[in-house]
Amino acid sequence: MRWLSLVSLALLAGCAGKPQVLPDAEPPVLAPTYERDPIEGFNRAMWDFNWDVLDPNLARPVTVAYTENVPSPVQTGLLNFAENLGEPGNVVNQLLRLEFAQSGKSLGRFLLNSTFGLLGFIDVATIAGIDRKETNFSDVMGYYGVADGPYVVLPVLGPTTVRKEVGDVVDWLYPPLALLNLTERGIRWGILGIDTRAKLIPQEGLINQSVDPYAFIREAYLQKAYYDAYGQPMPQPPEDDIDIDAYLDDIEE
């Protein structure tokens, strides 16, 4: 259910607050959407499968059953533990982005939660006022000017880019995530995915009522990825500047 996490995070991108531009980051010139989404036909088919088949028949029912039957404190503890395992990766990635203060906060979070928080089951750091900031290696590559690459929608996994997939491989090399076996990784993935799917439920109407849900999610995802990498809103792609009136006149002729 990783794709649900990506969709939800993209939809929540507008809540990120005031942009904090990273002075050393050099955002690339955006390519037109058709160049960023070169296999749109395949991607739309995969989106339809994920949203119209996989979600209503598996992801959503599992999420509802979990949230209604597992005690809330247990859900919170498992989520805290799963997120704490990724905190060392945040520390390293933030260092690579020269975010020294934030990296120190992430290190402090990991130490506090892993000790006083009983291996992370209790988020002591947040209680102490040290908020969590997730930073992926994909964001590091973006910071140094590596473009997203083609946009792809994978079956089950959902929206992604070439840069994101490469970044995910690197993120799993950081301990303690690197020490997990396949089953343990799957359990962590499930915990994070279910939590994010639960947060997505209030947004379902927004997706279903949009004129083109696929394009809506694509743009939301790409905007979120851009903001994470460069700390500023994504500018409009070139083809969005077309003269609509002239286009309609051509059609009438």
DSSP string, 41-102: HHHHHHHHIIIIIIIIIIIHHHHHHHHHHS-HHHHHHHHHHHHHHTHHHHHHHHHHTT-HHH
CA-nearest of 75, 48, 60 to 1 is 60
- In tens digits, what is the pLDDT along the chain, a chain of 253 residues? 555 555 555 555 444 444 444 555 566 656 666 688 999 999 999 999 999 999 999 999 999 999 999 999 999 999 999 999 999 999 999 999 999 999 999 999 999 999 999 999 999 999 999 999 999 999 999 999 999 999 999 998 899 999 999 999 999 999 999 999 999 999 999 999 999 899 989 888 888 898 999 999 999 999 999 998 988 888 876 554 444 454 445 445 5
- Cα–Cα distance, 13 to 125 (Å, whole number): 23
DSSP 154: E
Answer whether the bond into residue 28 is a cis peptide, omega within 30°.
no
Contact 135, 119 (CB under 8 A): no
Strand (E) or helix (H) holding 171: helix 162-171
Residue carrying structure tokens 């089950």: 156
Task: Indicate the pTM of the whole model.
Answer: 0.82
